[in-house]
Amino acid sequence: MNKLLISILTLMTLFSFNPQNEKEEFNCIDFKFKSYQEQADSMVAFMTQAQNSNSPEKDKLEKKFFCAFPDSFKGMQEIFGFDDVKEEAPLYNYPNGYNVIEYFGKLISIPKDKYYEKFININVNGIWEADNIVDAFGFSDRILNDTENACASLNKRTDNEITSVFRFIFDGPHPINDTNNEIYNQLLPKIEKQNERLGKLLTESYNQIMDEYDGHGQ
């Protein structure tokens, strides 16, 4: 009996200290950029290195890329947008900016809660501005491909925040179009299946923006 007890305790100890069973805490690197240009250059560098690397080095580089990425709609404007008063943002030009946004939209190495928190942050209060500031930065594709996790994070937000994200998906100079209708019809059943509240807010947001334009513009 003593030998059996010792064996069990030994196995439990080994299992408890097995690094593979420890959940690593994800904390973003706190970059201090001197300018938006430096931030943009860093994102491009991390992305390029990650694309040419293998795991686990790739995962480390993607983490740096993710942490360097903006965390608000204003931040996205500063990096990817255009202002008639100021000079164009560092990654305004196509395809450079589009490629960076697309890469962010396809990340899978970042913990889901952290990833969707930032993805939602950059879309809250988002409005269409053409070029790279469109289509909620591809968030609708992510909802369609990872509905459960995306909806779980969205459901933590206020109604106003959720509505602003959904509106940004459909916003544009002429939002009443076949593409938006198709996106809405694809999103609604998948979102409703996950969360009734989100499905209702999606419908309200879609109808609201369509009613505002109703084929005649703002």
More confident residue, 102 or 14: 102
Give the pLDDT mean for 72-82. Answer: 96
pTM of the entire predicted model? 0.86
Give the pLDDT mean for 55-72. Answer: 96
CB-neighbour burial class of residue 38 (10 A; exposed 0-12, middle 13-18, buried 19+): middle
- pLDDT given at position 194: 97
- Residue 19, pLDDT > 50, answer no
User: Does residue 139 contact residue 119 with C-beta atoms inside 8 Å?
Assistant: yes
The rounded distance, in Å, linking the Cα atoms of 104 and 115 is 9
Give the pLDDT mean for 27-56. Answer: 95
- Residue 141, pLDDT > 50, answer yes
Q: Residue 215 — pLDDT band, cuts 50, 70, 90?
A: low
**22 — phi, psi (to 5°)?**
-90, 130
